[in-house]
Structure 1
Amino acid sequence: METTFDAVVIGDANIDLVVVGCDEVPQPGQEVFVDNMMMHVGGGAALFAVSLAKLGLQVAFNGVLGDDGNGRFIRERFAKYGIDTTMIKTSTVHNTGVSIAFNPDKDRSFITYAGSNLELQVDELDLEPITRGRHVHVTGYRGRRNHETYMAFVQSLKEKGVTLSCDVGWDDSGEWDSCIFDYMRHFDVFLMNETEALHYTGSDDVEESLRYMSTYCSHVVIKLGADGAIAMKNGVVTRQSAYRVKAVDTTGAGDSFNAGYLYGYLSGMDVVTSLQYGNVCGALSVGAYGGSTGTPNLDGLKAFILRHEAEAAVSDAAM
């Protein structure tokens, strides 16, 4: 079958209501005034899809939205960036999910309604339109709670000849079950952050965790936040420092990193360049409110790199 999309993204989409300048949750009967409230597209899969589309790849989204104004808002934002929405189902049961984020510039707190995202069942998805993408990014894995279902799903996708990536996210069950390592075997690129990697492997050393996971997947990437990122591909470890920027909203920084990294991967670039692109997207993401508002297009990404290289050259010359 001829491919239509560079990537199909499967997972959650919701509204992020970002509350700026709220240092406390109101007590009963109390009203708290804040600096601002802003509405953005949210959900890890949706933020990744938008960020990847902004870089110029042809992206399709597969998920469930409510038949409401919030669902239409998300569809409109997807359309703005050329994201195909024909695989999105409309719920007749739930409204579109909403997540309220407090203190986006530091220790964030959330109130979340999952809404229509609860209806996404990968064992009910039609593989034919999904495999019109040459690559599929899968989210929503939740350990033992849906391990067998997701294993069957990704096995079926691999049999169709697509490449696969995954970002597992935080395990809210607290189990950090080792069944994830069998799941990793089916992926071409597997991403997680440092805290998740240490929990899953039971190690206190990120490079040790990376080497352990690489016995299951040949291409693993671990995000290190302000310290950048580290990857291991085919036995070779590569580490890349982060860019220093002022953060106003850390929501979606990891998803933006994923987009930059996978843009590099899907464009045939080496690990060093992919890590650099991931770090740029993560850095620019935190500089604006909203999980994908600050993520760049390709020209913006390259301009950011050139500017930092020029600044580094001036700094070196002054020493």
Structure 2
Amino acid sequence: MKNVTVVGSLAIDNIISTGVIPNSGETVFGTSFDTAFGGKGANQTVALGRLGARPFMVGAVGNDSNGKAIIENLKKNQINLDFVGTVPQATGTAHIILYDDDNRIIVVPSANNEVTLDNLKDDFWSLLKDSELVILQNEIPQVTNEAIINYCYEHHVNVLLNPAPARKISEELIEKITYLTPNEHELSILFPHLTREAALAKYPQKLVVTLGSKGVYFHDGKHEILVPAFKVKPTDTTGAGDTFNGAFAYAILKHLDLKNAIKFGNLAASISVQGFGAQGGMPTLEKMKESEFYEKTWHFE
């Protein structure tokens, strides 16, 4: 497997569990508070690392205890950290409310806003050029993502963009992306004038729409296809989408067709939601092989 590079966010998640969502001006009691490692970039990199991909992570942390803890965690997950920098700003955080088997998240980017073109190392572009797949999300500056997508397109490097949090991008840029993986809310912002069916038909083999417990839709060029999710009782859905994206990318790198790559991603996500925290339940390949739903024909070593 050639290099896989993830350019994105690193963060500490602050997680509150509650049985009541407060109204404006209201104070309610939570049932628990925890911290965990997060950031969409880091999550997707760890998902790849757990499966054995040995990815490169590109991003920034602050010179604080949170940043140091994130670096140690990434080392434990076999992530290449040559392109993770330390900046004066605080390390990024996400503030997560768990309620009724679902989550609400507020992200404070902080150091992640410093993943700018001026701050990238000189040999960063060579890293991209030598990569088989580059993975992006929307928790770093848009101008950085756009420059990376344009560079990869010019040098025939595949790009996966997970457009979360949602923000509009140009049709010209979408054409240069290999795989686009929004959820249903993000899809409505990307394509406000198109139905899901119309958007999928417009971008066959590119647009992959995740619908949580319902499954994942894509279009094979002839038909719209739903790849069902695996039914499990979730403990914490935080990071399920990131686990899906990391595992989906791993399967693509292993040359599975799109439908099987989505199925592999769905299985990884179904395992992840049975753990706690964005990264807590992310499975290893060995853990996935223990599942009754693992396809023996995948032949992953």
TM-score range, shorter chain: 0.7 to 0.9
The question of 1:128 aligning with 2:118 is answered no
Give 2:111's aligned residue.
116
| Correspondences of 1:131-150 after superposition (within 5 Å) | 131-140=129-138, 146=142, 150=145
Change over 3 Å in CA distance of 1:25–1:86 after alignment to 2: farther
| Correspondences of 1:1-319 after superposition (within 5 Å) | 6-21=3-18, 23-24=20-21, 34-92=30-88, 94-103=89-98, 105-122=100-117, 124-125=119-120, 126-140=124-138, 146=142, 150-171=145-166, 177=168, 179-202=169-192, 205-214=195-204, 218-233=205-220, 237-306=224-293
1:33 CA drift (Å): 5.6
SS of match in other structure, 2:70:
helix
Letter in 2 for 1:271: L
SS of match in other structure, 2:15:
strand
Q: Is the 8 A contact 2:60 2:111 kept in 1?
A: yes
Change over 3 Å in CA distance of 1:268–1:25 after alignment to 2: same
- Once the two structures are aligned, what percentage of the paired residues are identical? 24
Change over 3 Å in CA distance of 1:209–1:23 after alignment to 2: same
Letter in 2 for 1:64: A
Q: TM-score, normalised by structure 2?
A: 0.86
SS of match in other structure, 1:304:
coil
Greater alpha carbon shift after TM alignment, 190-199 vs 299-308: 299-308
Q: Which runs of 5+ in 1 are unaligned?
A: 310-319
Give 1:317's aligned residue.
none
Q: Aligned partners of 2:295 and 2:179: how far apart in 1?
A: 28
Give every structure 1 segment of 4 or more consecutive aligned residues whose post-TM-superposition deviation is greater than 6 Å: 26-30
**Deviation per residue, 1:203-249 (Å, 9 max, x gap):** 574222211234xxx42211111110012345554321111111221
**Deviation per residue, 1:65-91 (Å, 9 max, x gap):** 001111111111111110011101101
SS of match in other structure, 2:235:
coil
Q: Aligned partners of 2:223 and 2:250: how far apart in 1?
A: 20
Q: Aligned partners of 1:117 and 1:242: how far apart in 2?
A: 32
Note the aligned Cα RMSD (angstroms): 2.9
Change over 3 Å in CA distance of 1:141–1:208 after alignment to 2: farther
Change over 3 Å in CA distance of 1:302–1:38 after alignment to 2: same
Change over 3 Å in CA distance of 1:110–1:202 after alignment to 2: closer
SS of match in other structure, 1:79:
helix
Q: Is the 8 A contact 2:139 2:165 kept in 1?
A: no
Q: Which has the larger radius of gyration?
A: 1
1:133 CA drift (Å): 2.6
Change over 3 Å in CA distance of 1:45–1:25 after alignment to 2: same
Greater alpha carbon shift after TM alignment, 161-170 vs 234-243: 234-243
Paired residues, number: 293
SS of match in other structure, 1:185:
helix
